[in-house]
Structure 1
Amino acid sequence: MKHHYQLTVTWTGNRGSGTSGYRDYDRDHAISAAGKPTIPGSSDPAFRGDATRWNPEELLVASASACHKLWYLHLCADAGIIVTAYEDAAAGTMHDDRFERIVLRPRVTIAAGDRELALQLHHVAHQKCYIANSVNFPILCEPSIV
């Protein structure tokens, strides 16, 4: 099954002289899609970006984390495991111009169900995650169940 996603990225960093020089423009942009709030974006501060805005690297880590979470919750619901809280302290490591890895650290609270199965379902969620299946670097998962 094919899915199509459409959005607009609009550069908002023209200070008046465009890209007349490397230091003469901001990296700011807005990510928008119909019916959704706009996401303020920039580059990483290491690349002259605005630290108060989301950068592509952060959004990639967030996408990997969110994809894993969505699959995991689905699998738990199907397995009769009642998840009452889920929080992931995800982190990505980039070297030069490539990601080396992303580590997901989901802390999951369950109210009912098999704790060992709840841990095992993270492996299944990882196998089903389209982000993990689309990148050329490892995405690791270090879950804990409360």
Structure 2
Amino acid sequence: MNKLHHYTTTLTWTGNQGTGTSNYKAFQRSHTIETTGKPIIHGSSDPSFRGDPAKYNPEELLLSSLSACHMLWYLHLCAVNGVQVTQYTDQATGTMEESSEGGGKFTLVRLNPKVIVSEKSMIDKALELHDQANKKCFIANSVNFSVTHHPSCEVKQQADHPNP
């Protein structure tokens, strides 16, 4: 039997400047996202859609969710497979295509994880585990566009110690 998980967030529009949505330019796209016991995320639309560039937009949050989900699965798989990761960064990129009708969709997300491992013998397994992480990621399995990964892996550099 499959186990169900339930999540709740509260989104609140904070962009009413006094006249609500009386016209397209009369309101801000600002909003907050919150859930019990966690800091509030301040969001807006992308600046291309009259949003505040200082706030996260939904497209960035989707991209970040995919990147984080992949990383969390990857670190789990490394831990249970004897791969000691000491550093992980990902410069994820995404492409969204806007239609002539004003809608749009993501067509591709590319994850670019850069992993540092403790020993050279771990590099092959470290690279291989990205495929498994991609297959297990809850978020990647929930979207209808391609999520690819292009990892790199290096060995942790030891600090040089002068000989006594």
TM exceeding 0.5: yes
* TM-score w.r.t. length of structure 1: 0.98
Distance in 2 between residues matched to 1:48 and 1:60, nearest whole Å: 19
Give the secondary structure class of the aligned counterpart of 2:125. helix
Q: Which runs of 4+ in 1 moved over 4 A?
A: none
Deviations 1:2-42 (A, max 9, x none): 11111100000000000000000000000011100000000
Structure 1: how far apart are the matches of 2:122 and 2:27? 54
What secondary structure is seen at the aligned counterpart in 2 of 1:136? coil
Q: Which amino acid aligns with 1:3?
A: H
Report the equivalent of 2:105.
Answer: 98
Partner of 1:8: 10
Q: Which residue pairs with 1:67 in the alignment? A: 69
Aligned length: 146
Superposition CA RMSD, Å: 0.7
Higher Rg of the two aligned structures: 2
1:17 maps to a residue whose letter is T
Listed as ranges, the gaps of 5+ residues in structure 1 are none
Question: Percent of aligned pairs with the same residue?
Answer: 53
Q: 2:149 aligns with which of 136, 141, 144?
A: 141
Once the two structures are TM-superposed, the CA of residue 114 in structure 1 deviates from its matched residue by: 2.0
Report 1:73-112 matches (<5 A).
73-96=75-98, 97-112=104-119
Distance 1:20 1:114 in 2: 60
Shift of the alpha carbon at 1:52? 0.4
* 1:119 and 2:121 matched: no
